[in-house]
Chain A
């Protein structure tokens, strides 16, 4: 257990249409760290983020953010909690009818009454932090995938959150954009004093920036610890995931009847 945890998950149970996604998950996200939540596709990584941010609620167990039980918060309290969070979606989720500048300014315009001059100063500072001050006039359709992701990061930090959540931030990025986003995750976390949660299955990339990894599989946390510890793990399921082995506890073949029996059958 981590003493100063900004997110605490205890005995989490959650099912979708009767299919269990989490079956007693315990997680601590220590303040000031970059924590990665990893696992094979379909293990509920994004669902975990939705539970932490109050978009979904646990069937059983506790999800606590900054000492408050998310499941017991009213809608208004959840919105207040989210003001102290930033989230980066897989595709950036920029508002397509607004320019880069207006996208980053959007949360400020909705939640504050700052004079336009100050607002402009803040927006340009955040765009400068992600290296896209020069792209302020562009529309989302004119951005590459990597640029869109960086604009979304600028928008996520514009309200100076305490917790920044990245949902699959590297999907579909070229190596240069991936390197830029990776560096930004670490740099923003350290310079702004944030806590970051990164959900991803890009083992090598995430291991390079994360302080702590959680590996989810079969509805449970199968391993956790610093990246180096997990990479050297003896557990077969952990080794298979960390080293990208095609066969192992997660089998290469989808369950099927005997090959020769199936071939002999007409259909």
Chain B
């Protein structure tokens, strides 16, 4: 009984290590190819547009609602200490440093990430990847790289939009409904939030962009060429991306505090 469990455990561990090795090699290849891919910037821009427009509406809506909730909760909390005028600062720091990059990355993984993975998986299942190879066109350079870079570039832009709309959502609740002074809301925010706070969010969103895009293109490109394989690749994209984003968030927060 015990040896069987140990054998299974060792096989799982071996499988995980092989997958990790695959990720590392694929990532190394993408980083090496990046400068050359940037020369064909038109392809990258198309993918920034694709990834961006896919996620934009849900990012904006989620940003608004998250901001509204932050405004409400922040007001309740700060009111207890008589410092409601600090609402702008609290919301801005929460959004720029934490919620903006993290929630954007999770939404991106669920919307654009799954679309990327299923697109690449279907390209493999319908022999489009094989056809490119037969035309002596490297599919990693032509198809994977622009999508990867498109995701990396789109993520910080989406996170910025999320945070900006979140600030207005919090203002809507805090100022318009709860009666916090508008001037204090914005001026305290401007006085307390520093460039380093903004940069922390930017760095996080770039790192999450790399992670989510890498996971989506890797899972899609290496999916089994069947309907089940494509489905599994999209599911894995969401699950792995979500866990990795939260893990990286903790590491980055600990390093940059």
Q: Name A's B-contacting residues (CB within 8 A).
A: 53, 55, 79-80, 82-83, 85-87, 89-91, 93-96, 106-107, 110-111, 152, 155, 159
Contact = CB atoms under 8 A, between A and B. Distances in A.
A93 B136 contact: no
Contacts of A83: 136
B51 to A, nearest CB: 14
B133 A55 contact: yes
B127 A93 contact: yes
Interface residues of B, number: 14
Contacts of A94: 128, 131
A85 B126 CA distance: 20
A139 to B, nearest CB: 14
A49 to B, nearest CB: 10
28 contacts: A79-B136, A82-B133, A82-B134, A82-B135, A83-B136, A86-B134, A89-B127, A89-B131, A91-B126, A91-B127, A93-B128, A93-B130, A95-B128, A95-B131, A95-B132, A96-B123, A96-B126, A96-B128, A107-B135, A107-B136, A110-B135, A110-B136, A110-B142, A111-B136, A111-B137, A152-B131, A155-B135, A159-B135
B143 to A, nearest CB: 9
A22 B127 CA distance: 24
A68 B123 CA distance: 31
Central interface residue in A53, A83, A110, by most chain B CB within 10 Å: A110
A110 B137 contact: yes
Nearest to B137: A110
A86 B134 CA distance: 7
B127 A90 contact: yes
Contacts of A90: 127
Interface in B134-188: 134-138, 142
Minimum-distance CB pairs A-B, first 8 = A93-B131, A93-B127, A79-B136, A82-B136, A87-B134, A89-B127, A107-B135, A83-B136
Nearest to B142: A110
Nearest to B133: A55
B137 A107 contact: yes
Contacts of B130: 55, 89, 93
A93 B142 contact: no
Contacts of B123: 96
A114 B253 CA distance: 51
Interface string B3-46: 00000000000000000000000000000000000000000000
A82 B134 CA distance: 6
Contacts of B131: 87, 89, 93-95, 152
A101 to B, nearest CB: 16
A112 to B, nearest CB: 12
B142 to A, nearest CB: 7
A80 B134 contact: no
B133 A106 contact: no
A93 B137 contact: no
A95 to B, nearest CB: 6
Contact of B135 (A55, A80, A106): A106
A110 B134 CA distance: 13
B142 A85 contact: no
B126 A93 contact: yes
A76 B131 CA distance: 17
Nearest to B143: A95
A53 B134 contact: yes
A127 to B, nearest CB: 17
A110 B138 CA distance: 10
Q: Which of B131, B133, B137 counts the most A-chain CB atoms under 10 A from its CB? A: B131
Contacts of A55: 130, 133-134
A251 B255 CA distance: 68
Contacts of A91: 126-127
Contacts of B136: 79-80, 82-83, 107, 110-111
Contacts of B142: 110
A87 B126 CA distance: 14
A110 B128 CA distance: 15
A55 B136 CA distance: 11
A80 B135 CA distance: 10
A93 B142 CA distance: 16
Contacts of A96: 123, 126, 128
Contacts of A111: 136-137
Contacts of B126: 91, 93, 96
A170 B128 CA distance: 19
Given A89-B131, A110-B135, A152-B131, 16 more contacts: A53-B134, A55-B134, A82-B135, A82-B136, A83-B136, A86-B134, A89-B130, A93-B131, A94-B128, A96-B126, A106-B135, A107-B135, A107-B136, A110-B136, A110-B142, A155-B135
Q: Which of A55, A90, A95, A111 has the most CB of B within 10 A?
A: A95
A96 B136 CA distance: 18
